[in-house]
Amino acid sequence: MSILVLCEHDGGTFKKTATELLGKATGLAGALGTTVSALVLGDAPAASLGAYGATKVFQVSGDFSSYDTDVAVAALRAGIDAAAPSAVLAPASFLGKDALPRVVAQLGTGQGTECTDLRVDGGQIVGRRPIYAGKAYCDVRVGKTPAVYTVRANSFAQPAAGGGSAEVVAVPFSAPTPRLTLVERKRPETTVVDLTEADRIVSGGRSVKSKESYDSLIRPLAAALGATPGASRACVDAGYAPHDHQVGQTGKVVNPSLYIACGISGAIQHLAGMRTSKVIVAINTDPGAPIFEHATYGLVSDIFETCPALTARIQALD
């Protein structure tokens, strides 16, 4: 009865959440006296996950390069049936939100969503998670088997690779006929890490005043830091940044190690999306702006001056 970790990959390259979750699972398994297995859908270097603590990898064969809910549900089910785990850990990704609850319903078990911490208590995994958009927290405990927990990206440290190699168990799979047909996939112009998985984010507020300044203040700073650009709702609603850049209650919930808020007041609905960021930098001309109450470092200054100076300073780093 091991802990099964869903390891997602992008065309064969494992996502950071895969190793992050394996690292955490290894600690939990030690406390529970059990082992860690991994679940991989499709073609990826499964045996390499042994370096992060997986003893077995259940690899469901098939082409999963194009997402379909029915296919994902059936594949997750096949992998879970083959592994027969006591607990399943998965990232709170699109798949973790779109497909996993259907599997949980099939299995008649329960799911703790988007936990930011996991621990062992009373011989059982317990999740701690933000609720009410992070204004409160609670524990979630799943009393049936398998107990399913999804985890917010960047909640745990990345483990160092060890020397282990995992046994790969091939799970035969014949995909069901999808009930939905994919007509079109619209990709954004630039390919940066998704906000929900990003380790660094630079966001702009209403104060950027135009799309041109968003592009000349926020994007270059983000590029210099290898960060994903984000925005407040006021910035998005004014058309300075695209909709998918919005951070907050009605946008993306993010959890980076560095969040730089440029000319953002720090409204409760914006905080809802970024308050778990490890380090928050606030740049704002108003010393009374609520964002400063949450900032690790605060700069009372003008973004039109500060952003270019910071960009240049970062670019000059070796």
Partner 1 sequence: MKIAVCAKVAPDTATPRITAKGDGSGIDTTGIKFVVSPYDLFAVTEGIVLKEQGKASAVHLFTVGGDSDVTVLRGGALALGAEDLTLVDDPALAEADSLAVARSLAAAIGQGEFGLVLCGKQAVDHDNVQVPAMLAELLGWPHVSLVDDLVIDGDGFTATRNVGGGVAEVVKGTLPAVVTCDKGLVEPRYAKLPDIMKAKQKKVHKKTLGDLGLSAADVAPAATYTAYGEPPPRPKGRMLEGDVAGMVDQLVDALRNEAKVL
Ligand X SMILES: Cc1cc2nc3c(=O)[nH]c(=O)nc-3n(C[C@H](O)[C@H](O)[C@H](O)COP(=O)(O)OP(=O)(O)OC[C@H]3O[C@@H](n4cnc5c(N)ncnc54)[C@H](O)[C@@H]3O)c2cc1C
Q: CB under 5 to 8 A by kind: which of ligand X, partner 1, none does 270 bind?
A: ligand X
* From ligand X, partner 1, none, interface partner of 210 (C-beta below 5 to 8 A by class): none
Asked if 160 touches partner 1 (CB under 8 A), the answer is no
- In whole angstroms, the minimum distance from the beta carbon of 12 to partner 1 comes to 17
CB nearer partner 1, residue 81 or residue 98: 98
Nearer to ligand X, 167 or 286 (CB): 286
15 binds ligand X (CB under 6 A): no
In angstroms, the CA 293 to CA 56 distance is 46
Q: C-alpha angle with apex 110: 130 to 67, nearest 5 degrees?
A: 85
Using CB under 8 A as the binding rule, whether residue 251 contacts partner 1 is answered as yes
CB 53, CB 19: distance < 8 Å? no
Among 17-25, 45-53, 57-65, 95-103, which window interacts with partner 1 (CB under 8 A)?
95-103
How far apart (Å, rounded) are the C-alpha atoms in residues 228 and 40? 27
CA angle 270, 315, 317 (to 5 degrees): 110
Look up tokens 């296919």; give the residue: 71
Of the two residues 32 and 264, which places its CB atom closer to ligand X in the complex?
264
Token output for 300:
């009372």
318 residue type, one letter: D
Q: Which amino acid is located at 83 in the chain?
A: A
Q: Which is nearer to ligand X, 15 or 233 (CB)?
A: 233
Task: Tell which one of 50, 159, 205, 256 touches ligand X (CB under 6 A).
Answer: 205
Minimum distance of partner 1 from residue 166's CB (angstroms): 27
* Tokens coding 48: 């390499």
| Contact status: 232 vs partner 1 (CB under 8 A) | no
**Do 277 and 256 touch, CB atoms closer than 8 A?**
yes
CB of 222 to ligand X, least distance (A): 16
